């Protein structure tokens, strides 16, 4: 059984999907705790599924590095096999990335390396592309520069808003993340074999 800690910053719809799937006996992973860098709306999903949560606000620390040390401490108390960034909107300091790698995944709503960063869906709309995608990557010390574990194209439809496109992308993200977690648990995906 793979043990996960999931980090969020927002509404946590992808977290909720993972928590719901983890309730099924055939899912080979469990979420030990949910963490956030703020009082995220998505923490309500952890409460509903009776999963412990913790919040480490960046604004409570003099530096990002100090924040990272506390975040890392909170994560490591749960001794997870894998940490999943699911709408976690803070860049992690190198010390945190190094301590958690290679068991540190991020889901991103674009076909990386296209549209990295915090506003991928808006950027895809603005660029006028006819398709974008979803990616699951290993997190490195760059910004969305880690090796791609899984990704899938998603069409941009005429009249798409950021919201309609993001919703379409999220449905693919959820499936990709589930498949990656199942692959890791089954030994088909070996994170240590990816270059970082
Ligand atoms: N060391 C890394 N940390 C994180 C990565 C990563 O690739 N390396 N991915 C992000 C998730 N992410 C994209 O997938 C992402 C999230 C946020 C930002 C960003 O610029 N954040 C700003 C604040 C932006 C805001 O609050 O709107 C910041 O951290 O100051 C870039 C990429 C998670 N962490
Ligand atoms: N750069 C990181 C990034 O953009 N992450 C994205 O935030 C969304 C969170 O949605 P949710 O809060 O509804 O799960 C997801 O689409 C995730 O890929």
195 part of a folded domain:
no
What was the pLDDT predicted at 196? 79
Q: State the virtual CA torsion across 138, 144, 150, 156 in degrees, nearest 10.
A: 160
* Within a domain: 196: no
Nearest CA to ligand 1 atom 26: 89
pTM: 0.98
Ligand nearest to the Cα of 151, by number: 2
Ligand 2 centre to CA of 87 (Å) is 3
Q: Is 155 in the pocket of ligand 1 (CB under 6 A)?
A: no
pLDDT, one tens digit per residue, over 69-88 is 999 999 999 999 999 999 99
Say what the pLDDT of residue 18 is.
Answer: 98
Residue 64 lies in a domain: yes
Select which of 24, 45, 108, 166 is catalytic: 108
Q: Supply the range of the domain harboring residue 45.
A: 2-190
Whole-number Å distance, alpha carbon 143 to ligand 1 midpoint, is 7
- Helix locations, the chain, DSSP H: 13-22, 43-48, 64-76, 94-100, 120-127, 162-186
In-domain check, residue 141 = yes
Q: What is the CATH number of the domain that holds 26?
A: 3.40.50.170
Q: Which residues contact 93 (CB under 8 A, 6 or more apart)?
A: 64, 65, 67, 68
- Count: domains in the chain: 1
Write out residues in the chain with pLDDT < 50, as ranges.
none
Q: What b/e sequence results for 39-72 when a residue is b if at least 16 CB atoms lie within 10 Å of its CB, and e otherwise?
A: ebebbebbeebebebbebeeeeeeeeeebbbebb
108 assigned to active site: yes
Residues in a beta bridge with 82: 4
pLDDT of residue 192: 97
Structural domain includes residue 83: yes
């Amino acid at each position: 059984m793979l043990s996960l800690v999931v980090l969020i910053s927002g509404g946590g719809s992808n977290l909720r999907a993972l928590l719901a799937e983890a309730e099924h006996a055939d899912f080979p992973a469990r979420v030990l705790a949910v963490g956030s860098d703020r009082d995220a709306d998505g923490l309500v999903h952890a409460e509903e599924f009776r999963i412990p949560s913790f919040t480490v606000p960046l604004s409570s620390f003099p530096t990002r590095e100090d924040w990272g040390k506390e975040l890392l401490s909170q994560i490591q108390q749960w001794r997870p096999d894998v940490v999943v960034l699911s709408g976690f909107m803070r860049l992690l300091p190198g010390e945190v990335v190094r301590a958690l790698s290679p068991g540190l995944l991020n889901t991103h709503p674009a076909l990386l390396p296209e549209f990295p960063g915090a506003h991928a869906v808006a950027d895809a709309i603005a660029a006028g592309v006819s398709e974008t995608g979803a990616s699951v990557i290993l997190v490195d010390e760059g910004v969305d520069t880690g090796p791609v574990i899984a990704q899938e194209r998603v069409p941009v439809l005429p009249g798409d808003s950021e919201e309609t496109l993001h919703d379409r992308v999220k449905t693919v993200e959820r499936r990709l993340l589930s498949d990656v977690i199942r692959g890791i648990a089954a030994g088909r995906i070996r994170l240590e074999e990816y270059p970082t």
